[in-house]
Amino acid sequence: MIHRRAIRALIITGEREVLLMRIRPPHGGDSFWIAPGGGIEGDETPEATLKRELAEELGLTEFAPGPAVWRRHHTFNWGGRRISQKEEYRIVQADRFDPVMADKVEAKVLDCFRWWPIADLSDARERLTPLSLADILEGYLRDGAPNELPTEEVLID
Protein backbone atom coordinates (compact mmCIF):
# COMPACT_ATOMS: atom_id res chain seq x y z
CA MET A 1 0.00 0.00 0.00
CA ILE A 2 1.18 3.50 -0.84
CA HIS A 3 0.81 6.08 1.95
CA ARG A 4 0.72 9.72 0.98
CA ARG A 5 -0.48 13.17 1.99
CA ALA A 6 -2.40 15.44 -0.36
CA ILE A 7 -3.94 18.88 -0.48
CA ARG A 8 -6.92 20.07 -2.51
CA ALA A 9 -8.29 23.51 -3.35
CA LEU A 10 -11.92 24.47 -3.08
CA ILE A 11 -11.73 27.36 -5.54
CA ILE A 12 -14.67 29.67 -4.92
CA THR A 13 -15.76 32.70 -6.96
CA GLY A 14 -17.60 35.76 -5.72
CA GLU A 15 -20.64 34.33 -7.52
CA ARG A 16 -20.54 31.33 -5.14
CA GLU A 17 -19.32 28.79 -7.66
CA VAL A 18 -16.69 26.11 -7.08
CA LEU A 19 -14.38 24.62 -9.70
CA LEU A 20 -14.40 20.82 -9.92
CA MET A 21 -12.78 18.32 -12.30
CA ARG A 22 -14.53 15.20 -13.61
CA ILE A 23 -12.13 12.27 -13.44
CA ARG A 24 -12.33 8.93 -15.28
CA PRO A 25 -10.57 6.20 -13.27
CA PRO A 26 -7.71 4.72 -15.35
CA HIS A 27 -8.91 1.09 -15.05
CA GLY A 28 -12.64 1.65 -15.42
CA GLY A 29 -15.33 2.54 -12.94
CA ASP A 30 -17.65 5.50 -12.61
CA SER A 31 -16.46 9.04 -13.22
CA PHE A 32 -16.55 11.47 -10.32
CA TRP A 33 -16.08 15.18 -9.61
CA ILE A 34 -13.25 16.29 -7.35
CA ALA A 35 -11.47 19.48 -6.33
CA PRO A 36 -8.08 20.11 -7.96
CA GLY A 37 -4.94 19.31 -6.03
CA GLY A 38 -2.71 16.35 -5.37
CA GLY A 39 0.05 14.63 -3.49
CA ILE A 40 2.66 16.35 -1.36
CA GLU A 41 6.11 15.46 -2.70
CA GLY A 42 9.13 15.00 -0.43
CA ASP A 43 9.50 17.85 2.04
CA GLU A 44 7.13 20.19 0.17
CA THR A 45 4.87 22.34 2.31
CA PRO A 46 1.12 22.06 1.71
CA GLU A 47 1.18 25.60 0.29
CA ALA A 48 3.98 24.75 -2.16
CA THR A 49 2.12 21.61 -3.22
CA LEU A 50 -1.04 23.59 -3.83
CA LYS A 51 0.82 26.14 -5.94
CA ARG A 52 2.48 23.39 -8.01
CA GLU A 53 -0.69 21.34 -8.45
CA LEU A 54 -2.91 24.28 -9.42
CA ALA A 55 -0.34 25.46 -11.95
CA GLU A 56 -0.10 21.94 -13.46
CA GLU A 57 -3.81 21.10 -13.38
CA LEU A 58 -5.40 24.49 -14.05
CA GLY A 59 -2.77 26.94 -15.23
CA LEU A 60 -3.58 28.98 -12.10
CA THR A 61 -0.46 30.65 -10.73
CA GLU A 62 -1.67 33.81 -8.99
CA PHE A 63 -3.66 33.03 -5.84
CA ALA A 64 -3.36 33.00 -2.08
CA PRO A 65 -4.07 29.70 -0.32
CA GLY A 66 -6.83 30.28 2.21
CA PRO A 67 -7.88 28.46 5.33
CA ALA A 68 -8.20 24.71 5.75
CA VAL A 69 -11.85 23.69 6.08
CA TRP A 70 -11.89 19.89 6.00
CA ARG A 71 -9.76 16.75 6.02
CA ARG A 72 -10.13 13.06 5.37
CA HIS A 73 -8.21 9.81 5.26
CA HIS A 74 -9.19 7.96 2.08
CA THR A 75 -8.05 4.47 1.13
CA PHE A 76 -8.74 3.52 -2.48
CA ASN A 77 -7.49 1.68 -5.58
CA TRP A 78 -5.99 3.78 -8.36
CA GLY A 79 -4.16 2.56 -11.45
CA GLY A 80 -3.80 -0.95 -10.01
CA ARG A 81 -2.34 0.30 -6.70
CA ARG A 82 -3.83 0.56 -3.21
CA ILE A 83 -3.43 4.08 -1.83
CA SER A 84 -3.93 5.40 1.70
CA GLN A 85 -4.16 9.19 1.39
CA LYS A 86 -4.57 11.86 4.06
CA GLU A 87 -6.10 14.94 2.44
CA GLU A 88 -6.60 18.53 3.53
CA TYR A 89 -9.03 20.85 1.75
CA ARG A 90 -8.31 24.59 1.61
CA ILE A 91 -10.33 27.51 0.35
CA VAL A 92 -8.96 29.56 -2.54
CA GLN A 93 -10.85 32.70 -3.56
CA ALA A 94 -10.59 33.47 -7.28
CA ASP A 95 -12.33 35.13 -10.17
CA ARG A 96 -13.78 32.71 -12.71
CA PHE A 97 -11.17 31.62 -15.27
CA ASP A 98 -10.80 29.00 -18.01
CA PRO A 99 -8.64 26.16 -16.62
CA VAL A 100 -5.91 24.64 -18.79
CA MET A 101 -4.48 21.20 -17.91
CA ALA A 102 -0.71 21.16 -18.44
CA ASP A 103 0.04 17.83 -16.72
CA LYS A 104 0.11 15.15 -19.46
CA VAL A 105 -0.41 12.27 -16.98
CA GLU A 106 -3.39 13.92 -15.27
CA ALA A 107 -4.85 14.88 -18.65
CA LYS A 108 -5.33 11.16 -19.43
CA VAL A 109 -7.93 10.81 -16.65
CA LEU A 110 -9.48 14.29 -16.82
CA ASP A 111 -12.84 14.37 -18.55
CA CYS A 112 -13.67 18.08 -18.07
CA PHE A 113 -13.77 21.07 -15.73
CA ARG A 114 -16.94 22.72 -14.50
CA TRP A 115 -17.84 25.72 -12.37
CA TRP A 116 -20.64 24.44 -10.13
CA PRO A 117 -23.04 26.80 -8.35
CA ILE A 118 -22.53 25.82 -4.70
CA ALA A 119 -26.30 25.97 -4.13
CA ASP A 120 -26.73 23.19 -6.74
CA LEU A 121 -24.26 20.70 -5.23
CA SER A 122 -26.69 19.13 -2.78
CA ASP A 123 -29.01 18.20 -5.68
CA ALA A 124 -26.27 16.93 -8.02
CA ARG A 125 -27.06 13.61 -9.68
CA GLU A 126 -23.41 13.00 -10.50
CA ARG A 127 -20.91 11.62 -7.99
CA LEU A 128 -19.11 14.34 -6.04
CA THR A 129 -16.19 13.69 -3.76
CA PRO A 130 -16.07 14.18 -0.90
CA LEU A 131 -19.70 13.17 -0.46
CA SER A 132 -20.20 16.01 2.04
CA LEU A 133 -18.83 18.66 -0.37
CA ALA A 134 -22.10 20.65 -0.42
CA ASP A 135 -22.22 20.76 3.40
CA ILE A 136 -18.53 21.74 3.64
CA LEU A 137 -18.93 24.66 1.24
CA GLU A 138 -22.30 25.83 2.54
CA GLY A 139 -20.87 25.77 6.08
CA TYR A 140 -17.88 27.84 4.99
CA LEU A 141 -20.06 30.41 3.19
CA ARG A 142 -22.38 30.66 6.19
CA ASP A 143 -19.89 30.54 9.10
CA GLY A 144 -16.42 31.06 7.64
CA ALA A 145 -13.51 28.71 8.29
CA PRO A 146 -13.81 26.49 11.36
CA ASN A 147 -11.68 27.40 14.38
CA GLU A 148 -10.67 23.75 14.51
CA LEU A 149 -10.86 21.30 11.65
CA PRO A 150 -13.53 18.66 12.08
CA THR A 151 -12.45 15.16 13.01
CA GLU A 152 -10.79 13.52 10.03
CA GLU A 153 -13.30 11.56 7.94
CA VAL A 154 -12.15 8.01 7.22
CA LEU A 155 -13.31 6.49 3.94
CA ILE A 156 -12.31 3.07 2.59
CA ASP A 157 -13.32 2.05 -0.95
Q: Which domains does the chain have, with CATH numbers?
A: 2-156 (3.90.79.10)
pLDDT of residue 125: 93
The pLDDT value recorded for residue 70 is 93
pLDDT at residue number 76: 83
Give the Å distances, CA to CA, from 66 to 8, 60, 123, 140. 11, 15, 26, 12
Q: Which residues contact 57 (CB under 8 A, 6 or more apart)?
A: 21, 36, 37, 38, 99, 101, 102, 103, 106
Percent of the chain surpassing pLDDT 70 = 98
pLDDT tens digits along 12-25: 999 999 999 999 88
The average pLDDT across 20-36 equals: 89
Looking at residue 155, its pLDDT comes to 67
**What band does 157 get if pLDDT is binned at 50, 70 and 90?**
low
